[in-house]
Structure 1
Amino acid sequence: MSLPSPQTQDGMSLFESLKKRSSTPGGGFPVGTISDEELSNILWAASGLNRGKTGWTVPMVKGKAPYVRIYVTGEKGTFLYEWEGHYLREINNQDLRGDIAMQNFTKRAAYSLIFVSDSEALTDFSPDQANDFSQIAVGAMSQNVYLAATALKLSVRYIHSIKPDVISQQLQLPENSKPIGIVLLGK
């Protein structure tokens, strides 16, 4: 599924986004639709290329390609965001929003972004180091999502209480890949 080119100019200032940045309460999470353009902007902010072929919107250890994968699930199915080429690759036609977290309101979000570490990309580090680097990357990626969502006037919420076994099974993740958290998007 191709995505429109991301918006990289204009919009809300960084400092205004920081001032307005907040988590949408779970109980009142909205059920509105998010456009392809908005989703494109969010995914690019999370880990898109912003400097040639090897520069991303978030820091990556030793300049490696993003080693945290972003899966997107919604009513059209579940996809993997491919930062190289900026598109979504279909994983399956299942809507996993209601199955991947402990909270019931997650199924109301227009999309859930699932952050998964790709430990195969960090084999030159110890497992503890690879986990630390992945956690740091998810922190940077989710913060970028928050700021972009704020600028786009979208609702956003990070969820760490997830069901990693369900996610791993539904996405058929390799053994060493680890779901870390999800971000809900709504409008």
Structure 2
Amino acid sequence: MPYIMRKLVVICFTSLFAMSFCYADISLPTPQTKDGMSLFESLKKRASTPGGGFPVGKISDDELSNVLWAASGLNRGKTGWTIPMANGRSPYVRIYVAGEKGVYIYEWEGHYLREISDKDIRGDIAMQAFTKRAAYSLIFVPDTKALADLPPDQANNFSQIAVGAMSQNIYLVAAASKLSARYIHSIKPDIIAQELKLPENSQPIGLILLGK
């Protein structure tokens, strides 16, 4: 085999090998914004699924897309979100999605998942053993850089309020989609911070289990 041909083969194999270790973003389907269960019916059915019997079924990309969009997606123009944001800021609480295939961060601008790692951390991030049963754990983490100009107490209050709004939206969409959801406050912040590669001064607030 000529030298140039051998070199091309080596380059091709090297590229393919390297690609296998590259992170992969996931494009989410367009979220459902019409029809479906009424708001008041969703409120009536809204509930936290018991932990011990949390289901282990799979969740489709369409279902995950709807949940994440409801949590902090764009719903009007370029500066309108499904939850209230202080002073018209962009969403300053980020949602990390932990599943069987790894950990992703939801990018509301573009509505896609950006891969953080390919490790399954669902069983390591909370005090309860049943958290590993959920198809996904949605982890809420304040973006400290986005609120760096505010006093720490005020920044924390804004973040806590945002998580409350996100959680309620997730519960309502879960009810409308016949999914199971459960908010978890007893988490392992140090492990989460390590696995998500968070900045030193960034700590998660809580997470929601999502199943079917």
Do they superpose with TM above 0.5? yes
108-117 vs 119-128, which deviates more? Answer: 119-128
2:37 aligned with 1:40:
no
Question: Which residues of 2 match residues 18-57 of structure 1 at below 5 A?
Answer: 18-57=43-82
Contact 1:118–1:178 (8 Å) recurs in 2: no
Gaps of 5+ in 1: none
Contact 1:118–1:176 (8 Å) recurs in 2: no
Larger Rg: 2
Query: TM-score normalized by structure 1?
Result: 0.99
**Residue number in structure 1 paired with 2:12:** none
Moved over 6 A (4+): none
Question: Which residues of 2 match residues 71-150 of structure 1 at below 5 A?
Answer: 71-150=96-175
- Cα separation, 1, equivalents of 2:49 and 2:163: 19
**Residue number in structure 1 paired with 2:177:** 152
**Pairwise CA RMSD of aligned residues?**
0.5
2:205 aligned with 1:180:
yes
Query: TM-score normalized by structure 2?
Result: 0.87
Gaps of 5+ in 2: 1-25
- One-letter code of the match for 2:46? R
**Paired residue for 1:161, among 167, 186, 192?**
186
- Cα separation, 1, equivalents of 2:41 and 2:165: 18
**Paired residue for 1:14, among 39, 58, 62?**
39
47-56 vs 169-178, which deviates more? Answer: 169-178
Q: How many residues align?
A: 187
Could you say what secondary structure the match of 2:145 adopts? helix
